[in-house]
């Protein structure tokens, strides 16, 4: 398809004539395909990149928002309710696999969905992912064993990866960059509401309709979203390379980085497998554990080489090789590791150490989820009206670090309202930082890079989530074994240790001195888990604070045309 170099208008980043620190702007203007289809906007004053009325736009964008709600409910419901589900199957020491199986497949497949939608269009890929999400959620509701449920979550992750990646990419297709902050605020509202609902009511749903019912109630909503998407999403949304190039669909699909996707999945899967088995189910000296970690490192090295040669890499190394994009992407990666140290283990803290029911533990975690939503929405509007991309990132990074320090410092007999409040800074930090980083990477990327940049940022966030669950589970399970061996006494010591490790609720069934010993073991093990989060948040601050970013303001555009077509400051 023909293309033309354009000035930094509606289709490119609207960067100011100086950055937030008073330095010259960072400008990387790209090229925009000529609008051959009628979905490109006609009205220059419209906030939309498609030719649609406000009503038509919301019939498209509204279900995307609802989809964020359902996806986040599903994710955070699992985070708050996994003690109940794994205790049902007597498999608490396998809890991390319920989340990691989902996030692993979601992480590895999201960029593939993005590339596929570039080739054949957004609509067919989006609809296929939605149908897959609905079917696999039904499987989760009917799973009869922990193995079946983990397999269902893995396949559900593939579908959810497609749904979420398409949501982000389609939003870029629909809304101009200079007002994206406002629509990002809407996304944050539904994203946070789903997270808060899943966190607060996940335990209550398990107590009332059961964990199977909590999966089942998602199915009608997903069906409704699918029907709306089928009716309203334009068939010509996206570049549709197969249609507008001389290549066939088969030829364009052959350009996909299948090797990179498989190597990414293999390296991460084996790393997580080794970390979860080592010291938990098998000793660290076990050949299988050692072999998993070694093969993971080898696969990771091969992945880097493959990605450096790939035509359309699943993990574009150029996008994470130099600042400021490398700082932003990696800060999101380490943030998600730290966040999931806290999010995944706070329910264990409230249930095991303070004997909360799943319902009460869920309601306690609703507070940081609500604050994440409030801060995310506020940050979106702040970005639109001020154009300041850096300040929310710094504030968010500092907030997350302070939360981890607070949780690590509290004594076991701390009042519950304080323990609950100390979970809040992490949610506040996420709400401040993530909307700003999402817009920042788009603002410093050329138009043709933005879809790939969106997928890359989501990829590294999801890698951080996977690693956060795996590493925190590694820390918790290994320290818990040590503290149980240290504190538990009596003739049934080994039986008690095995019972407590398999079911969190088993702690409540213990009596007298043994009960107190188990509480001490869980308390000390969780303290080390929260302490380990501090290190990751320190790295986040080191990455974010020195970054220089441009203004994102419509009224602050500076470009001088050079003969080579580049726009210099």
Question: pLDDT tens-digit profile of 53-64?
Answer: 888 889 999 999
pLDDT score, position 164: 87
Contacts of 420 (CB under 8 A, 6+ apart): 364, 367
Distance (Å, whole) CA 11 – CA 239: 14
Q: Which of 348, 361, 389, 307 is nearest to 475 (CA)?
A: 348
Asked whether 468 and 340 are in contact (CB, 8 A), the reply is yes
Asked whether 123 and 234 are in contact (CB, 8 A), the reply is yes
> Interhelix angle for 122-142 vs 218-232, to 10°?
170
Contacts of 408 (CB under 8 A, 6+ apart): 527, 530, 531, 533, 534
pLDDT above 80: residue 415: yes
Matching residue, tokens 């749903």: 205
pLDDT above 60: residue 96: yes
Asked whether 86 and 98 are in contact (CB, 8 A), the reply is yes
Q: Which residue has the higher pLDDT, 22 or 133?
A: 133
According to the per-residue pLDDT averaged within each range, which of 28-42, 113-127, 418-432, 444-458 is highest?
A: 418-432
Asked whether 277 and 93 are in contact (CB, 8 A), the reply is no
Confidence of residue 276 (pLDDT cuts 50, 70, 90): low
**pTM of this structure:** 0.73
pLDDT score, position 226: 95
pLDDT score, position 44: 64
pLDDT above 50: residue 16: no
pLDDT above 50: residue 489: yes
Confidence of residue 286 (pLDDT cuts 50, 70, 90): confident
Distance (Å, whole) CA 338 – CA 18: 33
Read off the pLDDT of each residue in 131-155 and give the average, rounded to a whole number: 92
Question: pLDDT tens-digit profile of 232-247?
Answer: 988 888 776 666 666 6
Paired with 79 in beta bridges are none
According to the per-residue pLDDT averaged within each range, which of 194-198, 381-385, 507-511 is highest?
A: 381-385
DSSP E strand stretches across 148-267: none
Question: What architecture is the 54-257+311-557 domain classified under in CATH?
Answer: Up-down Bundle (1.20)
Instruction: Give the range among 104-108, 179-183, 291-295, 350-354 with minimum mean pLDDT.
Output: 104-108
pLDDT score, position 529: 93
Asked whether 168 and 458 are in contact (CB, 8 A), the reply is yes
Matching residue, tokens 């992750």: 157
Paired with 282 in beta bridges are 278
Query: What are the boundaries of each domain within the chain?
Result: 54-257+311-557
Distance (Å, whole) CA 291 – CA 286: 9
Q: Mean of the per-residue pLDDT values for the chain?
A: 79
β-strand 560-561 against 31-33: which pairing, if any?
A: unpaired
pLDDT score, position 273: 77
CB-side exposure of 510: number of CA atoms within 13 Å? 29
Read off the pLDDT of each residue in 531-543 and give the average, rounded to a whole number: 96
DSSP character at residue 256: B
Question: pLDDT tens-digit profile of 287-302?
Answer: 998 999 899 999 989 9
Burial 84-101 (b: 16+ CB within 10 A, else e): bbbbbbebbbbbbbbbbb
DSSP E strand stretches across 9-167: 15-19, 31-33
pLDDT score, position 13: 38
pLDDT score, position 347: 81
């Amino acid at each position: 398809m023909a293309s033309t170099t354009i000035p930094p208008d509606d289709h490119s980043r609207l960067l100011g004539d100086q950055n937030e620190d008073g330095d010259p702007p960072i400008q990387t203007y790209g090229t925009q395909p000529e609008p051959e289809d009628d979905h490109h906007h006609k009205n220059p004053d419209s906030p939309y990149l498609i030719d649609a009325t406000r009503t038509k736009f919301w019939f498209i964008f509204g279900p995307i928002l609802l989809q964020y709600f359902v996806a986040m409910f599903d994710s955070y419901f699992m985070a708050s309710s996994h003690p109940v589900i794994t205790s049902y199957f007597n498999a608490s020491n396998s809890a991390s696999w319920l989340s990691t199986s989902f996030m692993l497949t979601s992480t590895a497949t999201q960029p593939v969905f993005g590339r596929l939608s570039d080739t054949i269009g957004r609509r067919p890929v989006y609809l296929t992912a939605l149908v897959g999400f609905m079917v696999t959620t039904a499987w989760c509701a009917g799973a009869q064993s922990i193995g079946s449920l983990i397999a269902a979550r893995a396949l559900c992750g593939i579908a959810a990866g497609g749904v979420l990646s398409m949501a982000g990419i389609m939003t870029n297709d629909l809304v101009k960059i200079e007002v994206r902050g406002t629509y990002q605020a809407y996304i944050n509202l539904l994203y946070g509401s789903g997270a808060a609902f899943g966190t607060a009511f996940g335990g209550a749903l398990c107590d009332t309709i059961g964990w199977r019912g909590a999966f089942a109630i998602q199915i009608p909503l997903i069906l409704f979203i699918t029907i709306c998407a089928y009716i309203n999403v334009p068939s010509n949304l996206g570049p549709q390379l197969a249609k507008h190039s001389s290549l066939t669909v088969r030829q364009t699909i052959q350009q996909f980085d299948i090797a990179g996707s498989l190597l990414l999945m293999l390296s991460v899967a084996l790393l997580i497998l080794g970390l979860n088995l080592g010291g938990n189910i098998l000793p660290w000296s076990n050949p299988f554990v050692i072999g998993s970690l070694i093969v993971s490192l080898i696969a990771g090295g091969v992945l880097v080489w493959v990605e450096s040669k790939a035509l359309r890499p699943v993990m574009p190394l150029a996008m994470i090789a130099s600042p400021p994009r490398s700082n932003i992407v990696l800060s999101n990666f380490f943030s998600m590791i730290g966040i999931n140290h806290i999010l995944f283990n706070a329910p264990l803290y409230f249930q095991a150490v303070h004997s909360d029911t799943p319902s009460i533990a869920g309601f306690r975690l609703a507070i940081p989820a609500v604050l994440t939503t409030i801060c995310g929405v506020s940050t979106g509007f702040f970005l639109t009206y001020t154009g300041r991309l850096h300040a929310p990132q710094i504030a968010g990074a500092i907030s997350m670090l302070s939360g981890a320090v607070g949780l690590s410092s509290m004594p076991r007999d701390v009042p519950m309202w304080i323990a609950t409040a100390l979970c809040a800074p992490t949610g506040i930090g996420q709400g401040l930082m993530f909307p700003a980083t999402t817009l920042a990477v788009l603002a410093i990327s050329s138009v043709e890079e933005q879809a790939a940049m969106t997928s890359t940022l989501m990829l590294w966030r999801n890698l951080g989530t996977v690693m956060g669950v795996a590493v925190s589970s590694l820390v918790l399970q290994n320290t818990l074994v040590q503290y149980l061996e240290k504190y538990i006494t009596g003739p049934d010591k080994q039986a008690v240790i095995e019972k407590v490790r398999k079911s969190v609720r088993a702690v409540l069934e213990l009596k007298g001195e043994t009960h107190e010993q188990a509480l001490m073991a869980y308390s000390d093990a969780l303290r080390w888990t929260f302490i380990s989060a501090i290190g990751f948040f320190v790295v986040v601050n080191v990455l974010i604070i020195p970054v220089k970013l441009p203004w994102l303001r419509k009224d602050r555009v500076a470009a001088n045309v050079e003969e080579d077509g580049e726009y210099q400051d």
